[in-house]
């Protein structure tokens, strides 16, 4: 390994020994940009890597709220403002009990590279809380969001830091957060949050953007390898925002989606997933995926009992992990390869353990890496920000065309970068190299800050 990279990784491990997800994300990037670092020994003197992996600012705060039983509950809020190198801090908010500083730092770090790949002027950030929205009433969600924003508002703004949704934060939560921000600040600052409702500054296609974008990227990657989505069997983990709209677009392209999941288990419907029913259960009723069987008793429900999710045991051509980090273990990767998978499309952030990614690459499985393949959401968030600045709404077709073009551009950047370093078809390395190169040039230009 390049000596400079080794030194930086050792220093990082010493300082962040308990932050496994963050260490994993940084290691994945730094090891794959080795050929670029070999060509630029001057980066060491200006501590370019050390500055790139150290967040500009980490904010943690108390979030108290009163539940429906009248009890006061205290959660911890986070905002990691990782990099403002190429634009205002930008990245989603996650509400999930597993949230901790390591997870928010890994997500913020990934976001810098993802945002650079979009070609749009947005920096990198991430935030959230260990609050679990599952099973909470609308009133509880509203009170929690209001308390969260009462602190967060000190640190954000349309030209400073622009949060959006992520796991557990959708249009409902963004609405409550936006309402509280506006009330405290006494000004209508549309571009301070993205993923807003359409009636108050949201963008058409934002809801669909991450899932649609994933499939646009997959289409490009398959086409470059003489394949199409038509007639392919697809399995998709998760049944949230990303999973649902990836499913919709995959179906439009003629794929046969046979399985989807949530954190309790997965539904396997050989006849093809009934997406309208999934939308009804998840978007309207906020229910559990096993309820699918009430309408389609022929579908199989497999409970998730182990670290290896049962969804990856199902035979498929294309696997789309769209739930959470590290959901594909080495065992799951082996099972997928044994069953003949040809491509992995990462809708979730860092869904594959490092060993799983290596196993796929060693077996010539195509990987659409998260940084690139799920960048459609943040790209359309940036388009939402520009519509807010112009006080203007773009029609669905125009935004969808923009998304499609952005995903084509991102695929081409990954392809070109991997070819340049003779890593053909390794789009994981391609995504890291293309984004790193852009960021490194900006860092050099802006001096030691």
Q: Which residues are catalytic?
A: 126
Q: How far is the CB of 38 from ligand NDP (least distance, A)?
A: 31
3-state secondary structure of 309: coil
Q: How far is the CB of 310 from ligand NDP (least distance, A)?
A: 11
C-beta closer to ligand NDP: residue 167 or 328 = 167
Q: How far is the CB of 2 from ligand NDP (least distance, A)?
A: 30
N-terminal to C-terminal alpha carbon distance within the chain: 27
C-beta closer to ligand NDP: residue 88 or 168 = 168
C-beta closer to ligand NDP: residue 19 or 384 = 384
Helix axes 171-185, 138-152, angle to 10 degrees: 50
Q: How far is the CB of 258 from ligand NDP (least distance, A)?
A: 17
**Backbone φ and ψ of 245, nearest 5°:** -85, -20
**Contacting positions for ligand NDP (CB under 6 A):** 165-168, 170, 210, 238-243, 262-264, 322-324, 347-349, 374, 377
Cβ atoms of 350 and 325 closer than 8 Å: yes
Give the nearest residue (CB) to ligand NDP: 240
C-beta closer to ligand NDP: residue 166 or 400 = 166
C-beta closer to ligand NDP: residue 5 or 142 = 142
Dig out the tokens for 226 from the structure: 């003489």
Query: DSSP states of 86-138 as a string?
Result: SSSEEEEEEE-TT--HHHHHHHHHHHHHHHHHTTSS--EEEEEES---TT--H
Using a 10 angstrom Cβ sphere, with 0-12 exposed, 13-18 middle and 19 or more buried, the burial of residue 300 is middle
Q: How far is the CB of 445 from ligand NDP (least distance, A)?
A: 28
b (16+ CB within 10 A) / e for 187-205 = eebbbbbbbbeeeebbbbb
Query: Cα–Cα distance between 176 and 158 in angstroms, integer?
Result: 17
Query: Cα–Cα distance between 256 and 270 in angstroms, integer?
Result: 9
> Maximum CA pair distance of the chain?
64
Cβ atoms of 221 and 229 closer than 8 Å: no
Q: How far is the CB of 346 from ligand NDP (least distance, A)?
A: 9
C-beta closer to ligand NDP: residue 77 or 91 = 91
């Amino acid at each position: 390994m390049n000596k400079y990279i080794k030194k930086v990784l050792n220093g990082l491990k010493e300082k962040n020994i308990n932050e496994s997800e963050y260490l994993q994300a940084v290691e994945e990037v730094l090891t794959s940009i080795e050929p670029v670092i070999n060509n630029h020994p001057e980066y060491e003197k200006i501590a370019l890597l050390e500055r790139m992996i150290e967040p500009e600012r980490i904010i943690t705060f108390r979030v108290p709220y009163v539940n429906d039983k009248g009890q006061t509950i205290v959660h911890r809020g986070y905002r990691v403002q990782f990099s403002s190198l190429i634009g205002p801090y930008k990245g989603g908010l996650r509400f999930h009990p597993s949230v901790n500083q390591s997870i928010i730092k890994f997500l913020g770090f990934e976001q810098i590279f993802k945002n650079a790949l979009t070609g749009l002027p947005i920096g990198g950030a991430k935030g959230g809380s260990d609050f679990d929205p599952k099973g909470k009433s609308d009133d509880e969600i509203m009170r929690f969001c209001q308390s969260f924003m009462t602190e967060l508002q000190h640190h954000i703004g349309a030209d400073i830091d622009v949060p959006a949704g992520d796991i557990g934060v959708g249009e409902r939560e963004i609405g409550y957060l936006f309402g509280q921000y506006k009330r405290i600040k006494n000004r209508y600052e549309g571009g301070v949050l993205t993923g807003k409702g359409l009636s108050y500054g949201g963008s058409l296609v934002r809801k669909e953007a991450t899932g649609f974008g994933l499939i646009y990227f997959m289409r490009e990657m398959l086409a470059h390898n003489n394949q199409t989505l038509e007639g392919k069997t697809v399995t998709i983990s998760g049944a949230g925002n990303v999973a649902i709209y990836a499913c919709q677009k995959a179906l439009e392209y003629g794929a046969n989606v046979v399985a989807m999941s949530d954190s309790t288990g997965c539904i396997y419907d050989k006849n093809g997933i009934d997406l309208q029913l999934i939308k009804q259960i998840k978007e309207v009723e906020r229910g559990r995926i096993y309820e699918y069987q009430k309408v389609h008793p022929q579908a199989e429900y497999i409970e998730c009992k182990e670290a290896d999710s049962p969804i990856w045991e199902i035979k498929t051509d294309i696997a789309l992990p769209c739930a959470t980090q590290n959901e594909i273990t080495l065992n799951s990767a082996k099972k997928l390869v044994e069953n003949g998978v040809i491509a992995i499309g990462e809708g979730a952030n860092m869904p594959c353990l490092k060993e799983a990614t290596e196993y796929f690459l060693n077996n010539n499985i195509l990987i659409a890496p998260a940084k690139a393949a799920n960048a459609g959401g943040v790209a359309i968030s940036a388009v939402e920000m520009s519509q807010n600045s112009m006080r203007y709404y773009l029609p669905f077709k125009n935004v969808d065309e923009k998304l499609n073009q952005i995903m084509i551009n991102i695929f081409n950047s990954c392809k070109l970068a991997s070819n340049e370093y003779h890593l053909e078809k390794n789009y994981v390395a391609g995504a890291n190299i293309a984004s790193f190169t852009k960021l490194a040039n900006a860092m050099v230009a802006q001096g030691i800050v």
